[in-house]
């Protein structure tokens, strides 16, 4: 089991009346950046980078950054910049960029170049994730959601070819045209840095990730649903005649470990609620704009019949496996159960939950590393039959 520290870098200082959902339908897209105080923001970035560096120092296998735009939910419009900031301050952990939202890029060749540079800066410790970008980001960057998947596919093909085939070559695609593709540097890892792709139940994504032997990562869903995703990915791989290694299946999960079970819940509750009730307050319209989902994926989503995140109580979030909170023993047991049920070999633990203060994140990271990680590493992940 690989255990990684996943940071979203949220902006925690929401206005006092943020629970007024008419006034603030979401912390994303339309939530005015007048609420971003640069004097606070500057400290936040450095604090968050410290947290990632600390995670390496206490033994996490990887540290994870991601990309979001125009949102208080996550303040990393460029994950590559964060990866660069971490590259020379760390020396052992895999730096996971999870990932670049390639459909949003007007020029995906720039992603190929930046990742190749990062691969050198990290001396080959880089994992390159590719994501679609959330619906609201297609509003924010004026990218047609109906083109999102085909832009993703084409940008991926272009980037991979730019990494792996000697240039110069030309590229004539539906969305991108280049007469000279010849990136300097080429990546350090050969043939290219490992690739991970998050999925949210889309059968096309499962199939595609399996075809490419990439790592498939889940986020924010009940255990019963995540199981169908991972099973779908394994089934797609089986169709292709192979069994994916457990490390090719990753689960992103907010986790809080307290001194004991009761104090953990007492402490964590408000931050879990911040994440799901404020950070993830987002109407279906901005998450799945028209054209963003294929009919099959939309049908699957309707069938799953999931409640919107803000409608889930703290108890439901725990019960259905959206988050794990408890004392060391409870968290060890719960994560062990999830691992055995779902068969993931890569945990992206989100230990900075919502507006959680620095001291608490530090303690969470420390206890998690000391009391939980060794046990997770001891027992091998099993593939559920």
Partner 1 sequence: MTLTDVDPATPPVQRCGAAGGEIAYRRAGQGHPVLLLHSAGGANEWGPLQLGLAGVGDLVAPDHPGFGLSDDLPELHTVDDLVYHYLDLLDGLGLAQVDVVGVSFGGWVAAELAMHSPERVRRLVLGAAIGLRIPEAPIADLFLMNPPQLMRALFHDEALVTAALSAEPTTDQILATYRDLGALARFGWHPFLNDPKLERRLHRITAPTLVLAAGEDRLVPREHAQRFAERIPDARLVVVEDCGHALHGERPAEVTAAVVEHLGS
Residues near partner 1, by CB under 8 A: 138-139, 142-147, 283-286, 289-293, 295, 298-299, 302-303
Closest CA to 183 of 200, 208, 204, 166: 166
Q: What would the DSSP string read from start to end of 249-292?
A: EEEEEEEEE-SSHHHHHHHHHHHHHIIIIIIT---HHHHS-TTS
Smaller CB separation from partner 1, 46 or 299: 299
Q: Considering the complex, what minimum distance in angstroms separates the CB of residue 302 from partner 1?
A: 5
Closest CA to 81 of 67, 94, 101, 93: 67
Q: Considering the complex, what minimum distance in angstroms separates the CB of residue 34 from partner 1?
A: 20
Smaller CB separation from partner 1, 125 or 132: 132
Smaller CB separation from partner 1, 144 or 223: 144
Crossing angle for the helix pair 38-57 and 358-367, to the nearest 10 degrees: 10
Query: How far is 197 from 231, CA to CA, in rounded Å?
Result: 16
- How far are the Cα atoms of 230, 251, 329, 379 from residue 337, in angstroms, in the given order? 15, 13, 12, 11
Q: Considering the complex, what minimum distance in angstroms separates the CB of residue 298 from partner 1?
A: 6
Q: Considering the complex, what minimum distance in angstroms separates the CB of residue 313 from partner 1?
A: 23
Closest CA to 58 of 322, 378, 358, 370: 370
End-to-end CA distance of the chain: 18
| CA contacts within 13 A on the Cβ side of 333 | 6
Closest CA to 307 of 265, 277, 337: 277
Smaller CB separation from partner 1, 290 or 357: 290
Closest CA to 51 of 90, 100, 88: 90
Q: Considering the complex, what minimum distance in angstroms separates the CB of residue 135 from partner 1?
A: 9
Pairing of strands 195-198, 177-181: unpaired
Do 47 and 82 contact (CB within 8 A), yes or no? no
Q: Which residue has the tokens 């910049």?
A: 81
Q: Considering the complex, what minimum distance in angstroms separates the CB of residue 64 from partner 1?
A: 30
Q: Which residue has the tokens 């068969």?
A: 343
Smaller CB separation from partner 1, 139 or 163: 139
Smaller CB separation from partner 1, 33 or 142: 142
Residue 119 in tokens? 């691969």
Q: Considering the complex, what minimum distance in angstroms separates the CB of residue 8 from partner 1?
A: 23
Query: How far is 215 from 226, CA to CA, in rounded Å?
Result: 15
Smaller CB separation from partner 1, 253 or 286: 286
Smaller CB separation from partner 1, 152 or 214: 152
Q: CB atoms < 10 A from the CB of 116, how many?
A: 24
Q: Considering the complex, what minimum distance in angstroms separates the CB of residue 29 from partner 1?
A: 8
Q: Considering the complex, what minimum distance in angstroms separates the CB of residue 297 from partner 1?
A: 10
Smaller CB separation from partner 1, 40 or 146: 146
């Amino acid at each position: 089991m690989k255990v990684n520290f996943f940071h979203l870098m949220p902006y925690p200082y929401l206005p006092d009346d943020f629970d007024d959902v008419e006034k603030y339908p979401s912390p994303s897209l339309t939530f005015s950046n007048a609420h971003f105080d640069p004097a606070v923001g500057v400290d936040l970035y450095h604090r968050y980078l410290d947290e990632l560096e600390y995670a390496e120092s206490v033994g996490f296998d990887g540290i994870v950054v991601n990309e979001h735009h125009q949102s208080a939910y996550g303040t990393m419009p460029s994950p590559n910049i964060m990866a660069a900031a971490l590259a020379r301050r760390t020396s052992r952990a895999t730096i996971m960029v999870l990932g670049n939202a390639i459909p949003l890029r007007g020029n995906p060749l720039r992603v190929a170049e930046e990742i190749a540079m990062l691969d050198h800066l990290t001396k080959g410790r880089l994992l390159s994730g590719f994501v679609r970008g959330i619906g609201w980001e297609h509003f924010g960057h004026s990218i047609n959601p109906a083109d999102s998947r085909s832009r993703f596919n084409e940008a991926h093909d272009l980037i991979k070819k730019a990494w792996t085939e000697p240039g110069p070559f030309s590229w004539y695609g539906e969305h991108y045209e280049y007469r000279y593709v010849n990136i300097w540097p080429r990546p350090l890892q050969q043939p290219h840095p490992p690739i991970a792709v998050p999925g949210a139940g889309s059968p096309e994504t499962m199939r595609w990730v399996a075809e490419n032997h990439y790592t498939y990562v889940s986020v924010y869903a009940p255990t019963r649903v995540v199981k169908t995703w991972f099973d779908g990915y394994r089934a797609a791989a089986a169709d292709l005649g192979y069994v994916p290694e457990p490390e090719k299946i990753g689960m992103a999960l907010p986790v809080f470990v307290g001194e004991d079970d009761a104090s953990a819940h007492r402490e964590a509750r408000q931050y879990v609620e911040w994440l799901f009730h404020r950070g993830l307050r987002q109407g279906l319209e901005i998450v799945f704009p028209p054209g963003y989902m294929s009919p099959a994926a939309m049908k699957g989503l309707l069938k799953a019949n999931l409640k919107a995140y803000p409608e889930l109580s703290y108890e439901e979030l725990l019960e259905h496996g959206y988050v794990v909170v408890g004392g060391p023993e409870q968290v060890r047991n719960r994560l062990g159960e999830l691992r055995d049920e779902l068969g993931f070999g890569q945990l992206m633990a989100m230990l900075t939950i919502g507006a959680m203060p620095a001291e608490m994140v530090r303690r969470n990271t420390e206890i998690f590393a000391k009391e939980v990680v060794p046990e997770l590493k001891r027992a091998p992940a099993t593939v559920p039959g």
